[in-house]
A and B are shown apart, each in its own frame.
Chain A
Amino acid sequence: MEEMPEELRVLIKEKVYFCYQCGACVGSCPTARAIPEYNPRKMMEGLILGEWREILSGDLIWLCTLCHTCYEVCPQGVGISHIIIELRNLATKEGMAPEGFLDSAKQMAATGYVAPITGAVERTRKQLGLPEIKVIDTGEIKKIMELMRFRSVLEDESG
């Protein structure tokens, strides 16, 4: 990945360049309160300065909880949480997504559940008197994933 991907270039041009580094996003960020290294303002600064490779390959973008508070408070309409979604998509395409995230996503596409359903889980549920796990029709989930361009991202990665 040498050249900046087109979608990222457009995103930076149309949104990120407006960032005036006020820090409203950081003040509102629940992740930043727990993990001081995570700083969406600096992330935007990095994108403006052209450090997109480091950001994409780093761990920090995966720490966002997608609570969208930063989206709400941003005075310049940068839409940081949406940019982070785009960054995650790009990183996934480039094969840089953390294993756990991918497993969960694949699991979701296959079964409709994020966590795998193992025999142990089913036994425990029975012991606790919980109902059996319903089998979900994954057609709709797959469709949503397709509409969200998520499946193609996944397939790119695996294939």
Chain B
Amino acid sequence: MGEEEPRIGVYVCHCGLNIAGVVDVEKVAREAAKLPNVVVSKDYRYMCADPGQEMIKEDIKKYNLTRVVVASCSPRMHEPTFRRCVESAGLNPFLFEMANIREHCSWCHPHYPEDATEKAIDLVKMAVAKARYLSPLEVIKVPVTRAALVIGGGVAGIHAALDLADMGFKVYLVERSPSIGGRMAQLDKTFPTLDCSICILGPKMVDVANHPNIELITYAEVKRVEGYIGNFRVTVVKKPRYVLESECNGCGECAKVCPVEVPNEFDENLGPRKAIYVPFPQAIPMVYTIDMDACIECYNCVEACKEQGREAIDFDMKEEEIHLEVGTIIVATGYDLYDPSRVRAYGYGLYDNVFTAIELERMINAAGPTQGHVIRFSDRRTPRSLAFITCVGSRDVKTNIYCSGFCCMYTLKNAILLKEHYPEMQIYVLFMDLRAPFKGYEEFYRRAREEGIIFLRGRPTELYEDPKTKNLIISMENLSTGEPMDLEVEMVVLSNAAVPSAGTEELSRILTVSRDASGFFMEAHPKLRPIDSPTDGVFFCGAAQGPKDIPYSVAQGSAAASRAARIMARGEWEIEPIVAYVDPERCRNTKTKCGICATKCPYGAITVEEGKAAVVNTAKCHGCGTCAADCPANAITQMHFTDAQIIAQIHAALEEKPEEKIIGFLCNWCSYGAADLAGTSRMEYPPNIRIIRVMCSGRLDRDFILEAFRKGAGMVLASGCRFGDCHYISGNYNAERRLKPLFKMLPRFGISPERFRLEWFSAAEAGFFTNLVKEMVETLKRLGPERIREENEKARPFLDRMLKHIGG
């Protein structure tokens, strides 16, 4: 509280008849006027309309108001409106508070006008109580470096980099392998139009190399990322390629004289490359690399290079650290392919003529190791029959449960390509469900059928090799007859699934972003923020976030570029001041080793050094309040949702008839949203509940629940998003860990455990919420006010002792 007594103005909105039709708004305004510190209290038809806002602005000047409370709709609706209104009258926007008497009151209790009015008075009382403790907060502005880092030079990363560079931003494109191009460079053709893959990707790769705004850093990996949105400091480690990028012109004379041949990873190890190599002829940058694991240091390449009048080879090259300063980071690390040798039943790695799809892709590619011929391993003969097996390493609880999405389509593509090359070949596609949902894909499937490719539904159980012919016999069910059958083919191609690329886990740690159950990067919101990561200023695109085909990856690359540009274009970025603050006086880490807050923070925003008080990096803090609730010394304050404010709300709500009331702590994003939706959907429920909004269920201190019981509450509800849906990554898990023990604790004080409810539901589950309130009121009635008072009396001495620090 400020030094001066706050001067509060209360404005009760009629919202036409939306509120006034049920709630006696005039009575609410009259009652509000009686509350301490309230200087003026008015009601008006539409507070959000211009005259309503003007009224507030005038009153702020006339009565010298220092706090404003508007009782109207949900803060999720008009809080920004009124914040702007009070700000334009010279008041700090965070000295404004809202009482939700429409969605949470008039709309859901239309048949109990008296109870609704009483509830509205309570809600206003709670808002006023909180308003007394509000303090002015300043929006934090951080400068933004106008440069971006793109991690991964596949088709998604290339498009993100090109778009940003065209917009005029500096882009650093870091690629792990010696050349950009990624998976798409390996492909022969692309579905559904059968464009030559490298023909459409090659020019883009050249654009990257030639763009004045793009700095290409290949054969390098991101090792460390520090800082926050707008101000990331990135350390990139560039591996030595033993060839000077500035000197090498890619003539290839060195490779001609190199005596060592090893399998070429780019050709999926089907063909050889030299120890000094470029992965493929169109590589960007066109610079040779020495594979030191294979090099025998004969220096033949040095001689050959000299003969060309160059000295590009440097055997003394060392690993190099590059330091970059960027404002945003785009992660486009793509995918790896599932290792099918782990599904032993399909015999990959055991039988010669079982291939993976990408191996077939390299074979069928005219620039590949076989110059476009599809041949068997056992006799290097083109097979007369071939079967594709789909869903290898996907849609299976034993491997990966997810559908990898694009495998059906690339299987169709490969089948069609084979049919074009070898019209006589008998081609089978063994599938469970064939998924072809996007533009032109179903037509492509139709085309495959037209080509005479045989589609057989059913998952092959096992395949084995005929030791003489090296043909493969697939055992499966013939689903049309329901009988088991054996299918003999000369070659089998496994359509294996996409899995997170190697290093995804490490990068998720470096960037403090989370991963989903399948191991891919987890977006901030699956529907509305599919590109954003939970860490501000970090974006995902392409298959790093989940398996994707080329059009989708390109779209995401451009989307990520625009999301990043949105931040960099302004030059500075505003951060909501609803963040956590550590009181260095109270932090016990100065004396003992604590650091609990740092381990609980989902964003890694808190740093704890031994012997020093913990420090919150405000730019990284998202304001969930988990640390504030978990701090054992109560040294952390979450701005705008402080302990004092929330406890004031609890006290105000329970002033009268507490045993009939339910205190509901609802998280802003899901459960408060569900309560709002219940209002807008006009779902009715008993008016006993008093809702206190917090940003995240992770904010819920055990003390809040106990304090509510100490003040005589009939029941308490704590709720948040469903698991996995938390808007602050892990707040609800922390809430559950902290609050679940209450079910065991409460009976020890004499309080029936059913009087506390811990529930998780999404913003769409208004029905769940209304039923929950109904159910809770049933419990309340069943127990009866007598028993509740009795229980509370019994518990009070324990609670008083536990909550000494709160007082009151």
Instruction: Verify whether A and B have any Cβ pair under 8 Å.
Output: yes
Residues of A bordering B, CB below 8 Å: 20-29, 32-33, 36, 39, 41-42, 69, 73, 75-77
CB atoms of A23 and B476 under 8 A apart? yes
CB atoms of B484 and A27 under 8 A apart? yes
Within the complex, the shortest CB–CB distance from A28 to chain B, in Å, comes to 4
A28 vs B464: C-alpha distance in the bound complex, in angstroms?
12
CB atoms of A24 and B482 under 8 A apart? no
With beta carbons under 8 angstroms apart, the residue of A20, A23, A75, A77 that contacts B477 is: A23
Please judge, given known A-B contacts A24-B460, A27-B462, A32-B483, whether A77 and B432 are in contact too, CB under 8 Å: no
B478-516 interface with A by 8 A CB criterion: 479, 481-485
CB atoms of B482 and A22 under 8 A apart? no
Contacts of B457 in A (CB 8 A): 23
A36 vs B475: C-alpha distance in the bound complex, in angstroms?
14
Contacts of B475 in A (CB 8 A): 27-28
Contacts of A76 in B (CB 8 A): 396-397
CB atoms of B461 and A28 under 8 A apart? yes
Contacts of A73 in B (CB 8 A): 345, 461-462
B250 contacts the other chain (Cβ, under 8 Å)?
Answer: no
Within the complex, the shortest CB–CB distance from B434 to chain A, in Å, comes to 13
Contacts of A27 in B (CB 8 A): 458-462, 475-477, 484-485
**7 CB < 8 A contacts A-B:** A21-B479, A23-B459, A27-B462, A39-B482, A73-B462, A75-B398, A76-B397
CB atoms of B484 and A29 under 8 A apart? yes
Residues of B bordering A, CB below 8 Å: 345, 391, 395-398, 432-433, 457-462, 475-477, 479, 481-485
Contacts of A29 in B (CB 8 A): 484
Q: For residue B397, which residue of chain A has the nearest CB?
A: A77
CB atoms of A41 and B433 under 8 A apart? no
Known: A23-B458, A33-B484, A75-B459. 8 other contacts (CB 8 A): A21-B479, A23-B477, A28-B462, A39-B482, A41-B482, A75-B397, A75-B398, A77-B398
A33 vs B486: C-alpha distance in the bound complex, in angstroms?
10
CB atoms of A20 and B398 under 8 A apart? no
With beta carbons under 8 angstroms apart, the residue of B345, B391, B477 that contacts A41 is: B477
A36 vs B477: C-alpha distance in the bound complex, in angstroms?
11
Contacts of A24 in B (CB 8 A): 458-461, 476-477
Within the complex, the shortest CB–CB distance from A95 to chain B, in Å, comes to 29
CB atoms of B459 and A36 under 8 A apart? no
Contacts of A22 in B (CB 8 A): 432, 458-459
Within the complex, the shortest CB–CB distance from A74 to chain B, in Å, comes to 8
Within the complex, the shortest CB–CB distance from A77 to chain B, in Å, comes to 4
Contacts of A32 in B (CB 8 A): 477, 483-484
A26 vs B458: C-alpha distance in the bound complex, in angstroms?
10
Within the complex, the shortest CB–CB distance from B430 to chain A, in Å, comes to 10
Interface hub of A29, A69, A73, A75 (most chain B Cβ within 10 A): A75
Within the complex, the shortest CB–CB distance from A72 to chain B, in Å, comes to 9
Contacts of B396 in A (CB 8 A): 75-76
Contacts of A28 in B (CB 8 A): 461-462, 475
A21 vs B481: C-alpha distance in the bound complex, in angstroms?
14
Interface hub of A24, A27, A41 (most chain B Cβ within 10 A): A27
Contacts of B484 in A (CB 8 A): 26-27, 29, 32-33, 36
Please judge, given known A-B contacts A22-B432, A23-B476, whether A42 and B459 are in contact too, CB under 8 Å: no
A42 vs B484: C-alpha distance in the bound complex, in angstroms?
13
Contacts of B433 in A (CB 8 A): 20
Contacts of B477 in A (CB 8 A): 23-27, 32, 39, 41
Q: For residue B391, which residue of chain A has the nearest CB?
A: A75
Interchain residue pairs A-B with the least CB separation, the first 4: A23-B477, A27-B461, A26-B477, A22-B459
Within the complex, the shortest CB–CB distance from B604 to chain A, in Å, comes to 36
A29 vs B391: C-alpha distance in the bound complex, in angstroms?
21
A32 vs B481: C-alpha distance in the bound complex, in angstroms?
12
A38 vs B505: C-alpha distance in the bound complex, in angstroms?
46
A24 vs B392: C-alpha distance in the bound complex, in angstroms?
13
Contacts of B398 in A (CB 8 A): 75, 77
A108 vs B458: C-alpha distance in the bound complex, in angstroms?
40
A42 vs B481: C-alpha distance in the bound complex, in angstroms?
11
A41 vs B480: C-alpha distance in the bound complex, in angstroms?
12
CB atoms of A23 and B483 under 8 A apart? no
A32 vs B482: C-alpha distance in the bound complex, in angstroms?
9
Within the complex, the shortest CB–CB distance from B337 to chain A, in Å, comes to 18
Q: For residue A77, which residue of chain B has the nearest CB?
A: B397
CB atoms of B432 and A20 under 8 A apart? yes
With beta carbons under 8 angstroms apart, the residue of A23, A33, A36, A77 that contacts B479 is: A23
A79 vs B345: C-alpha distance in the bound complex, in angstroms?
18
Contacts of B479 in A (CB 8 A): 21, 23
Within the complex, the shortest CB–CB distance from B801 to chain A, in Å, comes to 46
Q: For residue B395, which residue of chain A has the nearest CB?
A: A75
Please judge, given known A-B contacts A20-B433, A73-B345, A73-B461, whether A26 and B482 are in contact too, CB under 8 Å: yes
A73 vs B461: C-alpha distance in the bound complex, in angstroms?
7
Contacts of A39 in B (CB 8 A): 477, 482-483
Q: For residue A42, which residue of chain B has the nearest CB?
A: B482
A41 vs B397: C-alpha distance in the bound complex, in angstroms?
17
Please judge, given known A-B contacts A27-B475, A27-B477, whether A36 and B483 are in contact too, CB under 8 Å: yes
A25 vs B476: C-alpha distance in the bound complex, in angstroms?
8
A20 vs B345: C-alpha distance in the bound complex, in angstroms?
20
A29 vs B478: C-alpha distance in the bound complex, in angstroms?
13
A25 vs B345: C-alpha distance in the bound complex, in angstroms?
13
Q: For residue A27, which residue of chain B has the nearest CB?
A: B461
Contacts of A69 in B (CB 8 A): 461
Contacts of A33 in B (CB 8 A): 484
A33 vs B345: C-alpha distance in the bound complex, in angstroms?
18
A24 vs B398: C-alpha distance in the bound complex, in angstroms?
14
Within the complex, the shortest CB–CB distance from B342 to chain A, in Å, comes to 14
Q: For residue B394, which residue of chain A has the nearest CB?
A: A75
A70 vs B482: C-alpha distance in the bound complex, in angstroms?
15
A72 vs B398: C-alpha distance in the bound complex, in angstroms?
9
Q: For residue B462, which residue of chain A has the nearest CB?
A: A28
Within the complex, the shortest CB–CB distance from B638 to chain A, in Å, comes to 41
Within the complex, the shortest CB–CB distance from A113 to chain B, in Å, comes to 34
Contacts of B397 in A (CB 8 A): 75-77
Q: For residue A30, which residue of chain B has the nearest CB?
A: B484
Within the complex, the shortest CB–CB distance from B77 to chain A, in Å, comes to 41
A75 vs B475: C-alpha distance in the bound complex, in angstroms?
16
Interface hub of A28, A42, A69, A77 (most chain B Cβ within 10 A): A28
Contacts of B483 in A (CB 8 A): 26, 32, 36, 39
Q: For residue B481, which residue of chain A has the nearest CB?
A: A36
A23 vs B479: C-alpha distance in the bound complex, in angstroms?
7
Q: For residue B399, which residue of chain A has the nearest CB?
A: A75
Contacts of B395 in A (CB 8 A): 20, 75
Within the complex, the shortest CB–CB distance from A22 to chain B, in Å, comes to 4
Within the complex, the shortest CB–CB distance from B457 to chain A, in Å, comes to 8
Q: For residue B432, which residue of chain A has the nearest CB?
A: A22
A73 vs B481: C-alpha distance in the bound complex, in angstroms?
21
Within the complex, the shortest CB–CB distance from A52 to chain B, in Å, comes to 19
A41 vs B396: C-alpha distance in the bound complex, in angstroms?
16
Contacts of B476 in A (CB 8 A): 23-24, 26-27
Contacts of A36 in B (CB 8 A): 481-484
Within the complex, the shortest CB–CB distance from B476 to chain A, in Å, comes to 4
A42 vs B477: C-alpha distance in the bound complex, in angstroms?
11
Q: For residue A76, which residue of chain B has the nearest CB?
A: B397
Q: For residue B431, which residue of chain A has the nearest CB?
A: A22
Q: For residue B460, which residue of chain A has the nearest CB?
A: A27
A22 vs B459: C-alpha distance in the bound complex, in angstroms?
5
Q: For residue A70, which residue of chain B has the nearest CB?
A: B461
Q: For residue A41, which residue of chain B has the nearest CB?
A: B477
Within the complex, the shortest CB–CB distance from B617 to chain A, in Å, comes to 44
Within the complex, the shortest CB–CB distance from B590 to chain A, in Å, comes to 52
Q: For residue B456, which residue of chain A has the nearest CB?
A: A23
Within the complex, the shortest CB–CB distance from B729 to chain A, in Å, comes to 29
A39 vs B482: C-alpha distance in the bound complex, in angstroms?
7
A6 vs B462: C-alpha distance in the bound complex, in angstroms?
35
A76 vs B398: C-alpha distance in the bound complex, in angstroms?
8
A97 vs B461: C-alpha distance in the bound complex, in angstroms?
31
Contacts of A23 in B (CB 8 A): 457-459, 476-477, 479
Q: For residue B482, which residue of chain A has the nearest CB?
A: A39
